[in-house]
Amino acid sequence: MVITMLTKFKLSSAALIVAAAFATTGCEKQTETPVAVQAPAYTAADVDKFISETGEELSRLINESSKIDWVYSNFITDDTAALSAASAQKYSEAGVRFAMQAAQFDKVEVSAEQRRKLNILKQALVLPAPQDSAKSAELATIAADLGGMYGKGTYTNAKGEKLNLGDMSAIMASSRNYSELLDVWQGWRTVSPAMKPLYQREVELANEGAQGLGYADLGAMWRSNYDMSSDEFAVELDRLWGQVKPLYDALHCHVRAELSEEYGEDKVPQDQAIPAHLLGNMWAQSWGNVYDLVAPENADPGYDVTEQLAKHEYTEIDMVKGAEKFFTSLGFEELPSTFWERSLFTKPADRDVECHASAWDIDSQDDIRIKMCIQKNGEDFSTIHHELGHNFYQRAYKDQPVYFQNSANDGFHEAIGDTIALSVTPGYLKEIGLIDTVPDESKDIGLLMKMALEKIAFIPFGLMVDQWRWQVFSGKISPENYNQAWWELREKYQGVRAPIARAATDFDPGAKYHVPGNVPYSRYFLAHILQFEFHKSLCEIAGNEESIHRCSIYNNKAAGAKLNQVLEMGSSQPWQNAHKVITGSEQMDASAILAYFAPLQKWLDEKNQSRQCGF
């Protein structure tokens, strides 16, 4: 997870519920709008003045807000919560003001760089409200209520135990009891039916706001943030999914067959979609928790990173120092001393903190930090490499204007972090002295299976969440069909079905945070595509001669220089330009995923020869 600057307009709850009234960015066909009062005649000089003054104010707000957020995350009290809420409101209100002011210059002839800065300010809002104060207030209330309903959601089971989402997720991850899994799956979805009428009204209001900005609907507005038309973007996502689908289908077939062995073919029929509660995750979006049920035979690689960390007496700081060395081996400068002085590496014994791993850019310059309650295990060792990927990205674009201190598009930051984590291979572990020998390639299938259950299993889910929302926003999916359409899309893309009959009054989309929270989801789909592209290209630059999944770019200055070239660009240019620097092409290509998982694909195809596949 990355905490960066301009993304706060998109991520903070306050920013999602405020209104702005401004014209189209030019990506969409204009809709009819009422005749407006004659606007002042602005000039390029006015734009220069606005951009300069706003940049200074934005930098000041960033520094102030980031420090308050950091204190709140590390010292959770009623007082720090109040300070954080007040700061978020101030920051969000500034975002609305900046957007509305930027819109005044829509028809002024400006340079490409100036227009990009103005558009970044305008497109920062995720949930625009209508040009009506009563409706704006109504939208704000609805958004806050939906967030509260999700956050406070609990389920009391037949034993009288009151379970929160964390409790139920733990059961989903570990239990192999069919009935227990079904109970908590159903239980969590009791929190969302009451959201449905609120969500329906929210869609109506947000669509009205988007249409006032010149977009056909809110979905078209969201899709316009990718340096291409909204229709082109939707087609591009479908094309990428089409490339990955054969691998996903093979994984699905194998997992379904093994789950049928575990639970019985009466519960997991071989000619139907997989019941959603059996995949180890509350939303069946990643399947890593069922690895023990589907793992290849003799898949043990012969080492355990957690045991090796203990054997070599690694401390939490040693783990971070080791990840830093990965980046310095590529040619990046060491982290600043303030990183080590100000980051949180372990959970304090005397206070509550937010332990979810995150990378922070406090002042848009050198005050970068991570916040983790590090556990001395293999998973966190890899996560640290990911988080430092964010930090080095943040540091690389620090010399860009504040407007461009972000990733090339909202999928790039996560993709860069994951690209680095892909280099934490057995070969890398041997090179840094954590293991003595690299297992032969026969052991790779287990490692690839573990990764596929997390990354390949997620890809169709990452696509369908916004596919559902875009159709809701456009009116193609009507409120009475919200739930039915949700499960139709889940079966179409994931081959996953509701384990019990669902009613039109249910609202299962609301049981996924990003729907009531109004967080666009396509960024996660993009990150899963881009990370493998970047890894493959950097490995080629590094002169790798091994299989792609065995490649680590550790200690390769040529790969590091190419990576840094992209990181330094920030969001100053269309993402296609940044993409081309690494890959040589402006178009995304999911074939790198197929190359990475080629040994697993071959193994799956052999295992599935006698099985009935498809859903």
* Residues identified as active-site: 356-357, 386-387, 390, 414, 514, 524
Q: Of 283, 298, 295, 299, nearest to 259 (Cα)? A: 295
Q: Do 61 and 90 form a contact (C-beta atoms < 8 A)?
A: yes
Burial of 311 (C-beta count, 10 Å sphere; 0-12/13-18/19+)? exposed
Could you tell me which residues come within 8 angstroms of residue 77 by beta carbon, excluding any fewer than 6 positions away? none
Cβ burial 19-41 (10 Å sphere, 16+ → b, else e)? bbbbbbbebbeeeeeeeeeeeee
Please enumerate, as own/partner, the contacts of 40-45 that have beta carbons within 8 Å and a separation of 24 or more: 40/104, 42/104, 42/105, 42/108, 43/108, 44/108, 44/109, 44/110, 44/114
Direct distance between the N- and C-terminal alpha carbons of the chain, in angstroms, rounded to an integer: 34
Q: Are 98 and 490 in contact (CB under 8 A)?
A: no
Q: What is the DSSP string of 79-139?
A: HHHHHHHHHHHHHHHHHHHHHHHHHTTTTS---HHHHHHHHHHHTT-SSPPPS-HHHHHHH
Residues in contact with 573: Cβ distance below 8 Å, sequence separation at least 6, in sequence order:
408
Q: Which two tokens stand for residue 265?
A: 């073919």
